[in-house]
C-alpha cells in the first residue's frame, strides 16, 4: 500500500502568484494540528472517503472514513467515552432534522428572517470571496451541503471541504450529491469535525464560509478564533446569521434573558451588528463588513496579511 504524506509539498505549494493556496492537502489532526498522513487513495474526492485512513504524524492517532465522510472529530474512535453537545448542536444530529432541513426548514429562514435563500446568499458571498477565488474553501457547519454543492459546481475553488458535526447532515449531503448528475466529486470532501477544533493546520485555508451557523455554535468566540487560526494571511471569513434588532429590541427583558436562553438552548442571539464586528476583531480578524436584509446579516472579515 502506498503511503502518501499529506504534508509533502505543503510548504512549497502554500501559495501561488495570486496569493491563493494551491495546496489541497490541508487535513490535519484535530488534536495536534499536524498534517495527516494519508494511507491509501490520496485523491481528495468524496468517493475516496470510504477507503481512507489517515494518521497523525505526531500523536499517531488514526482517523477513518465511513460510507460518506471522514471523521476528524477529537472523539472519533472512542468506544466507552461520549459527550453531549448543547441542544443547538445536538438537534441537527437527528435524522429527522437532517432530512427536513432542505425540505422546508431552511426555507423558513427566508420567511421570518429575510434570508435571500441559497442562490441569493451564494451570489452575495461570491462578492466577499473575490480575493480568494481559485483557492480552497471550508464550508463550516455545512448542514446538508446546500452551499458546499454550489461552491463545488461553480468551479470557483480548487478544493471544497464540506464540514459539519452532524453525521446525519453529512449523510444527507452525500445523498443529494449521489442524486445529482455530473456532480464534480473530485476536489470535494465531506468531513465531520467540531467547529471549535478544526482539522486544518494554522494558516492553510483561503476561505471559510459559515451559513446560518454562528448562532448555533456552543461558543462563537472559540469557533471564530479557530477559524482565524486556520485562515492564511489575507484569507476571508464569510458568514450569515440573524440579528434581533429593530422592533425586537423593544421586547422587554430580551437583553437580560438572552444569557438564560443561550444557556438552555446552547445558541447565541445577536442583538446588534456591532457585536459581530467585536467578535471578529476580538478573534484577530479585520476589515469587518456586512449586508443586512431584515433580520438576515451576511458578514465578512479578513485575516490580516
Judged by the rule CB under 6 A, the positions of this chain that interact with ligand SAM are: 85, 89, 92, 106, 141-143, 146-147, 164-166, 169, 194-195, 211-213, 216-218
* Complex with ligand SAM: residue 149 or 303, whichever CB lies closer: 149
HSE-CB at 142 with a 13 A cutoff on CA atoms is 33
Give the E-state strand segments of the chain in sequence order: 3-5, 36-39, 53-56, 62-64, 70-71, 136-140, 159-164, 188-192, 205-210, 231-242, 286-293, 296-302
Residue 211's nearest CA partner among 118, 85, 91 is 118
Cβ neighbourhood burial of 85 (10 Å; 0-12, 13-18, 19+): middle
Give the strand pairing for 62-64 and 70-71: unpaired
In the three-class reduction of DSSP (H, G, I as helix; E, B as strand; rest coil), residue 12 is classed as: coil
Whole-number minimum distance, CB 99 to ligand SAM, in Å?
12
* Complex with ligand SAM: residue 141 or 204, whichever CB lies closer: 141
* Complex with ligand SAM: residue 22 or 266, whichever CB lies closer: 266
C-alpha dihedral over 15, 290, 91, 143, to 10 degrees? -40
Whole-number minimum distance, CB 300 to ligand SAM, in Å?
15
Residue 286's nearest CA partner among 220, 241, 228 is 228
* Complex with ligand SAM: residue 101 or 288, whichever CB lies closer: 101
Whole-number minimum distance, CB 111 to ligand SAM, in Å?
14
Cell triple for 191: 468531513
Whole-number minimum distance, CB 4 to ligand SAM, in Å?
27
Whole-number minimum distance, CB 163 to ligand SAM, in Å?
7
* Complex with ligand SAM: residue 25 or 88, whichever CB lies closer: 88
Whole-number minimum distance, CB 14 to ligand SAM, in Å?
25
* Complex with ligand SAM: residue 215 or 303, whichever CB lies closer: 215
Whole-number minimum distance, CB 266 to ligand SAM, in Å?
8
Cβ-closest residue to ligand SAM? 211
Query: How many whole angstroms separate alpha carbon 232 and alpha carbon 249?
Result: 37
* Complex with ligand SAM: residue 71 or 194, whichever CB lies closer: 194
* Complex with ligand SAM: residue 14 or 91, whichever CB lies closer: 91
Whole-number minimum distance, CB 199 to ligand SAM, in Å?
11
Beta strands across the sheet bearing 286-293: 70-71, 188-192, 159-164, 136-140, 205-210, 231-242, 296-302, 286-293
* Complex with ligand SAM: residue 83 or 181, whichever CB lies closer: 83
Residue 193's nearest CA partner among 158, 217, 212, 172 is 217
Cell triple for 20: 491563493
Rounded to whole angstroms, what are the CA distances from 52 to 38, 42, 229? 7, 8, 26
Amino acid at each position: 500500500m502506498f503511503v502518501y504524506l499529506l504534508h509533502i509539498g505543503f510548504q512549497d505549494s502554500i501559495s501561488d502568484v495570486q496569493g491563493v493556496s494551491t495546496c489541497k492537502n490541508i487535513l490535519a489532526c484535530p488534536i495536534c494540528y499536524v498534517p495527516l498522513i494519508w494511507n491509501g487513495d490520496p485523491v481528495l474526492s468524496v468517493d475516496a472517503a470510504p477507503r481512507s485512513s489517515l494518521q497523525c504524524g505526531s500523536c499517531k492517532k488514526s482517523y477513518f472514513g465511513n460510507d460518506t465522510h471522514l471523521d476528524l472529530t477529537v472523539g472519533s474512535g472512542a468506544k466507552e467515552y461520549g459527550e453531549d453537545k448543547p441542544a443547538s448542536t445536538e438537534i441537527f444530529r437527528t435524522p429527522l432534522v437532517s432530512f427536513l432541513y432542505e425540505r422546508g426548514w431552511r426555507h423558513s429562514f427566508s420567511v421570518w428572517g429575510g434570508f435571500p435563500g441559497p442562490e441569493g446568499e451564494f451570489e452575495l458571498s461570491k462578492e466577499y470571496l473575490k480575493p480568494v477565488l481559485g483557492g480552497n474553501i471550508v464550508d463550516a457547519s455545512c448542514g446538508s451541503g446546500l452551499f458546499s454543492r454550489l461552491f463545488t459546481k461553480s468551479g470557483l475553488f480548487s478544493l471544497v471541504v464540506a464540514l459539519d458535526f452532524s453525521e446525519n447532515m453529512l449523510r444527507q449531503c452525500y445523498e443529494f450529491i449521489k442524486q445529482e448528475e455530473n456532480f464534480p466529486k473530485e476536489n470535494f470532501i465531506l468531513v465531520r469535525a467540531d467547529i471549535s477544533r478544526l482539522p486544518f493546520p494554522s494558516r492553510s485555508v483561503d476561505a471559510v464560509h459559515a451559513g446560518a451557523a454562528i448562532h448555533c455554535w456552543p461558543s462563537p468566540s472559540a469557533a471564530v478564533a479557530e477559524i482565524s487560526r486556520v485562515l492564511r494571511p489575507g484569507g476571508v471569513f464569510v458568514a450569515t446569521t440573524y440579528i434581533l434588532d429593530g422592533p425586537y429590541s423593544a421586547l422587554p427583558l430580551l437583553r437580560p434573558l438572552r444569557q438564560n436562553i443561550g444557556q438552555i438552548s446552547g445558541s447565541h442571539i445577536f442583538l446588534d451588528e456591532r457585536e459581530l464586528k467585536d467578535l471578529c476583531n476580538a478573534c484577530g480578524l479585520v476589515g469587518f463588513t456586512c449586508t443586512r436584509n431584515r433580520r438576515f446579516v451576511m458578514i465578512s472579515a479578513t485575516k490580516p496579511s
